[in-house]
């Protein structure tokens, strides 16, 4: 007889946010995936058959399908480890997703946006580009985590890391604090900490002012690419960016290689040489 596991969804989402430190956006993404899955699938003899769910999402792009299946797997892990249900997943064949190369914003475009930004936008751009932060990490920077040579950042899964900053960044933070007088978090409004969406909106508007489309993650990509092109070791970059696996950082090496080849093809005088007949 089919058994419903829907009543475990809300406790799981609470666990995801409060215990595992997932961002509100991640929790919302999981909620949508689980709601759809639970409408279509049931547990029979301790087996959760995913085929109805997989058929329903089959027309979506591979990355979306992968994220939704990952949400279901994490939910089942919770059921087994926390709720002791011993659920077995069926029809859970992984989806192969081609890794796409990030598209960083060029340095001169970033400098142009900085030159037209207000003080708050200026610091948002400077920290994302100068520290390689995720937007969630930027949102959670506390005043007491800021030191003259580094900032303690709270990354994925509430993992802490110290990211170095330049004297220029520290001075920009001091100037910003003198203007905005934040109380606990670096970026605040009257109600408290600015949300990720608010920070993202401010960034997008700053770049739109100079007719450039930009996302916070592109600035993070630009940070990694600049370090690679300047000869930094990939292990150090991986640690600075808070990657759990160096394989994630290696995507940027492919991008840097493509950029170097493009530069070579554009700049080397032999590229204009006609073949000898």
What CATH number does the domain containing 47 carry?
A: 1.10.150
| Number of separate domains in the chain | 2
Asked if 112 contacts 210 with a C-beta cutoff of 8 angstroms, the reply is yes
Is 220 labeled as catalytic in the residue annotation? yes
| Residue partners of 89: CB distance under 8 A and separation at least 6 | 47, 48, 50, 72, 73, 76
One domain, residues 65 and 135: no
Is 129 labeled as catalytic in the residue annotation? no
Higher pLDDT, residue 246 or 20:
20
Structural domain includes residue 97: no
Report the pLDDT averaged over residues 75-82: 90
Structural domain includes residue 83: yes
Q: Check 9, 20, 156, 161 and give the catalytic one.
A: 156
One domain, residues 256 and 192: yes
Higher pLDDT, residue 9 or 264:
9
Structural domain includes residue 86: yes
Report the pLDDT averaged over residues 42-49: 85
One domain, residues 137 and 81: no
Helix, strand or coil, per DSSP, at residue 155:
coil
Q: Check 54, 67, 140, 243 and give the catalytic one.
A: 243
Is the pLDDT assigned to residue 52 strictly greater than 60? yes
One domain, residues 10 and 131: no
- The CATH number given to whatever domain includes residue 166 is 1.10.443.10
pLDDT of residue 95: 56
pLDDT of residue 250: 64
One domain, residues 69 and 179: no
Greatest Cα pair distance in the chain:
78
Q: Check 8, 78, 223, 252 and give the catalytic one.
A: 252
Asked if 205 contacts 121 with a C-beta cutoff of 8 angstroms, the reply is yes
Higher pLDDT, residue 189 or 243:
189
Structural domain includes residue 277: no
> For the chain, percent helix, then strand, then coil, each to nearest 5?
60, 10, 30
Q: Cβ-count burial of 218 within 10 angstroms (0-12 exposed, 13-18 middle, 19+ buried)?
A: buried
Is the pLDDT assigned to residue 246 strictly greater than 90? no
- Out of 4-8, 110-114, 272-276, give the one with best mean pLDDT: 110-114
Structural domain includes residue 149: yes
98 — pLDDT class (breaks 50, 70, 90): low
| CA–CA–CA angle 265, 270, 274 (5° rounding) | 105
One domain, residues 40 and 65: yes
Q: Check 134, 140, 193, 221 and give the catalytic one.
A: 134
One domain, residues 30 and 161: no
Is 73 labeled as catalytic in the residue annotation? no
Structural domain includes residue 272: no
Interval 151-165: pLDDT, tens: 999 988 888 899 999
Identify any residues that bridge with 146 across adjacent strands, giving them in sequence order. Answer: 151
171 — pLDDT class (breaks 50, 70, 90): very high
Q: Can you read off the two tokens belonging to residue 160?
A: 């802490």
Domain boundary among 63, 90, 117: 90
Domain boundary among 90, 123, 158: 90
Q: Which of 180, 200, 201, 202 is nearest to 189 (CA)?
A: 180
Domain boundary among 90, 125, 156: 90
One domain, residues 133 and 218: yes
Q: How far is CA 154 from the centre of its chain?
A: 13
pLDDT of residue 33: 93
Q: Check 67, 140, 193, 220 and give the catalytic one.
A: 220
Interval 80-89: pLDDT, tens: 898 888 888 8
The values of phi and psi at residue 262, to 5°, are -65, -40
DSSP 21-67: ---HHHHHHHHHHHHHHHHH--EETTEEE-HHHHHHTTTS-HHHHHH
One domain, residues 66 and 141: no
Is the pLDDT assigned to residue 267 strictly greater than 50? no
Q: Can you read off the two tokens belonging to residue 196?
A: 């990720």
One domain, residues 163 and 198: yes
One domain, residues 211 and 248: yes
Is 217 labeled as catalytic in the residue annotation? yes
One domain, residues 155 and 36: no
Structural domain includes residue 187: yes
Is the pLDDT assigned to residue 243 strictly greater than 80? no
44 is in which domain, residue-wise? 6-90
Structural domain includes residue 163: yes
């Amino acid at each position: 007889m089919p058994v419903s596991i829907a009543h475990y969804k809300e406790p799981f989402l609470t666990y995801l946010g409060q215990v595992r430190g997932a961002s509100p956006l991640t929790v919302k993404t999981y909620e949508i995936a689980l709601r759809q899955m639970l409408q279509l699938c049931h547990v029979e003899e301790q087996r959760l058959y995913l085929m109805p769910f997989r058929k329903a999402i089959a027309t979506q792009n591979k990355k979306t399908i992968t994220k939704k299946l990952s949400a279901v797997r994490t939910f089942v892990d919770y059921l087994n480890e926390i709720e002791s249900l011993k659920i077995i997943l069926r029809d859970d064949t992984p989806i192969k997703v081609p890794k796409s190369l990030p598209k960083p914003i060029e340095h001169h475009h970033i400098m142009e946006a900085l030159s037209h930004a207000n003080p708050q936008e200026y610091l948002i751009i400077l920290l994302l580009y100068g520290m390689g932060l995720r937007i969630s990490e930027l949102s959670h920077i506390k005043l007491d985590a800021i030191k003259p040579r580094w900032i303690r950042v709270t990354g994925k899964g509430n993992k802490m890391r110290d990211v170095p900053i330049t004297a220029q960044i520290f001075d920009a933070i001091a100037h910003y604090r003198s203007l905005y007088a934040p109380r606990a978090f670096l970026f605040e409004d009257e109600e408290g900490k600015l949300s990720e969406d608010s920070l993202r909106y401010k960034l997008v508007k700053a770049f739109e002012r100079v007719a450039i489309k930009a996302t916070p993650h592109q600035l993070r990509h630009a940070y990694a690419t600049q370090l690679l092109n300047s000869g930094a070791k990939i292990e150090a970059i991986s640690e600075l960016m808070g990657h759990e696996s160096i394989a994630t950082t290696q995507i940027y090496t492919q991008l840097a290689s493509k950029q170097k080849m493009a530069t070579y093809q554009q700049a080397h005088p032999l590229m204009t040489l006609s073949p000898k007949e």
